[in-house]
Chain A
Amino acid sequence: MSHPIQAAEFLQDQAKSKWHDETLWFVRDKRDKISKSVPEWENLRDLASQIKDNVLANLGKYLEEFEKNAKANNIHVHWAKDAEEHNRIVLGILQEKRCKAIVKSKSILTEECHLNPYLEKNGVEVVDTDLGERIVQFLNQAPSHIVLPAIHLKKKDISEIFHEKLHTEKGNEDPDYLTHAARIHLREKFLSAKVAITGVNFGVAETGEFVVCTNEGNADMGVHLADVHIACMGIEKIIPKRAHLGVFLRLLARSATGQSVTNYTSHFRSPSPGKEIHIVLVDNGRTAQLARPKFKNSLKCIRCGACMNTCPIYRRSGGFSYESTVPGPIGSILSPGIDLQKHSSLPFASTLCGSCTDVCPVKINIHEQLYEWRQEITKAQPDRAKSLAMKIANGVFAVPFAYNLSGNMMRGALKILPDSITYSGLNTWGKQRDLPELPKESFKDWYKKNRK
């Protein structure tokens, strides 16, 4: 299915889609307020963007530096060219440790690699320990938002699923009560897991350490109780120096949720005696994106989710409407690089309003890349023009006046609107909107009479 169909379905439940819009707007508004409390906010964004420019221009160098320093810290470093290799590496470590159950804190990369189903297929129980992720895992769903995985669900939904899975009281929707139940449930899982998997927010080349940010402390709880910590990291998460963390950490939580900093910002540098840390560095299409000059800036993303919260489309269509691991504006510029055919409707799921670009803490020109993907997609899908023309048929561009538009414009327009002038069926514009009243004469006619 394509985005317009999914979006229309999401909008069927008017009350829920309104609530979704308002909830995410509330987060966006918090972000606005806190970002304005930092006088140097725009300078920080510039700086973060420039640091990432340097990273992308020297990615190989920083990754090798990171590997060298991490190894010196007794971290095992693995390289995965794609999702499959990543999953095999993780499974290999688990099999070596004879581990049948793991706990995992939030990692969009492991979602991208579809690690959970792979491990489950191979007999490993996976427990997502981020509360929102645990909720969607109970429902066998993917996260609908990269920071707020269960934002598409309401208290009532969560009460129902907890009643079924955790035997909480039927109908009890009290957040404290439900959170407490989740805590007891997760604590058992933490205590029994030999291996903990986390994502990585930042890998520091200079020191070989990496940083994981959470609000719930679940990454730390998992890692400190387990013997083995496997950290899965996209290769673009590298930053050159520890000092650069000061820039990114100030931007990340403020952009994501309007907090000044995440509750837990945990640095992992070397394993405790008797324990192991493994880091899996994953490409999975990133170097291909790096080779696309118009789109490589998308790799600056620090996964804050601010572009989702601000996007008037995302807020009203929900994360699932994008049918990609990373939804929203940033997902719409990352996903076509992975599978152009599958994700071809995403760059068109935008009015190019530009709000995503203005909230982005690392200044990715998201809406400009959406525009550029459109240019690529129309080359790859020649039939697109025809279907678009059908939709526009009888609408704004197809009034008889259009004949008056002379010369070059019509020659250009006819390429994409071949049937629109004569086609008289579906009128998508007019389904829920009136057309403007047609004036007696065009401005051109008026001008001829009145000014010359």
Chain B
Amino acid sequence: MPENKKHIALFIPCYVDQFYPKVAIATLELLEKLGCQVTYPMGQTCCGQPMANAGYERDTVATTKHFIRIFKDFDYVVAPSGSCVLHVKEHAPAIAGMEKEQSELHDKIFELTEFLTDVLKIENIKGSFPHRVGYHASCHGQRGLRLSASSELNQTPFNKAKQLMVNLEGLEWVELKRKDECCGFGGTFAVSEEALSIQMGKDRLADHQAQQVEILTGGDMSCIMHLQGIAKRNGNPIQFKHIAEILNEAIS
């Protein structure tokens, strides 16, 4: 059976469901345009990451069990978030009695861009997006899921998001001075270390601005929510889109 005929579950992080339905819609439409059969399981809630990263992984056992039950019967689980996918794979607590289901889930859950490049084997997407685009590599996607080569490592360069976007007609891909520096969101870090978080965000924005970026994109809306919040407060005209929105718009 071709990969896109398999049954795919859409996992939409809780804050994307609440704050950024347009990103979830773009993800769904994009996968559908690529011929996938996608279902959004209505019972889904949250992966438990905010609690675990704050030091309360032990309190996410029920959340994790629920997550496994909701998604266990699908062939693939795809989410427009590297961070939440990394949490499910690496930090969700081991659930006794569900070892098999949990281990299978770890193998079949994918962040959106890696699902497109690694499972659907899409070399590049045909479409048009005539804008100057800066890419923010979220750390959990970058160094957690290895969605692109890390500047720290001695490895052959690759970038799954770039691979998908770079051949879009009219798209100008921007190289940043610090291509994979953290934006300072960091979940609860954003409030527990507010001063640092803001400074890191401002520094990231300045790098994009220095390269005259028109639209800042990325695979994690949490980073983008933080950067957009700072940009708006400071009257910075840069626009923000999730990569799913760019790819979905480009195809249509």
Minimum CB distance partner of B143 in chain A = A354
Q: Is the CB of A441 within 8 A of B55?
A: no
Asked if B166 is at the interface of the complex by the 8 Å CB criterion, the answer is no
Chain A residues with CB below 8 A from B184, complex form: 312, 351
* B194 in complex: contacting residue of A39, A397, A412, A428, CB < 8 Å: A428
Is the pair B55, A378 in contact by a Cβ cutoff of 8 Å? Answer: yes
A180 at the binding interface (Cβ < 8 Å): no
A443 touches B53 (CB 8 A): no
Q: A351-B182, A357-B143 are in contact. Are A32 and B18 (CB under 8 A)?
A: no
Across the interface, A375 reaches (CB within 8 A) one of B58, B63, B198, namely: B58
Q: Give, as a whole number of angstroms, the nearest-CB distance from B138 to chain A.
A: 9
- The answer to whether B24 and A374 have CB atoms under 8 Å apart is no
Q: Please give the distance in Å from B38's CB to the nearest CB on chain A.
A: 9
* Contact present for B55 and A374 (CB under 8 Å): yes
A223 to B199, CA, bound (A): 45
Interface of A is mostly: helix
In the assembled complex, the CB of A51 is this many whole angstroms from the nearest CB of chain B, namely 19
Chain B: residues with Cβ within 8 Å of the partner, total of 76
- By the criterion CB–CB under 8 Å, are B20 and A439 in contact? yes
Stretch at the interface among B102-110, B119-127, B228-236: B228-236
B193–A348 contact, CB under 8 A? yes
Q: Knowing A313-B196, A316-B196, A413-B50, say if A405 contacts B45 (CB, 8 Å).
A: yes
Question: Could you jot down 27 A-B contacts, CB within 8 Å?
Answer: A21-B203, A348-B55, A348-B189, A348-B192, A349-B196, A352-B139, A355-B139, A355-B150, A355-B180, A374-B54, A374-B55, A375-B58, A385-B54, A385-B56, A388-B188, A391-B194, A392-B191, A395-B191, A396-B225, A401-B18, A401-B19, A412-B46, A415-B56, A428-B194, A429-B229, A443-B17, A444-B42
B interface residues with partner A (beta carbon < 8 Å): 12, 14-22, 24-25, 28, 40, 42-43, 45-46, 48, 50-60, 62-63, 65-66, 91, 139-140, 142-144, 150-155, 178, 180-182, 184-201, 203, 225-226, 228-230, 232-233
**Chain A residues within 8 Å of B, Cβ to Cβ:** 3-4, 7-8, 11, 17, 21, 25, 32, 35-36, 38-39, 41-42, 310, 312-313, 316-317, 348-355, 357-359, 371, 374-375, 377-378, 384-385, 388, 391-392, 395-397, 399, 401-402, 404-413, 415-416, 428-429, 431-436, 438-439, 441-448, 451
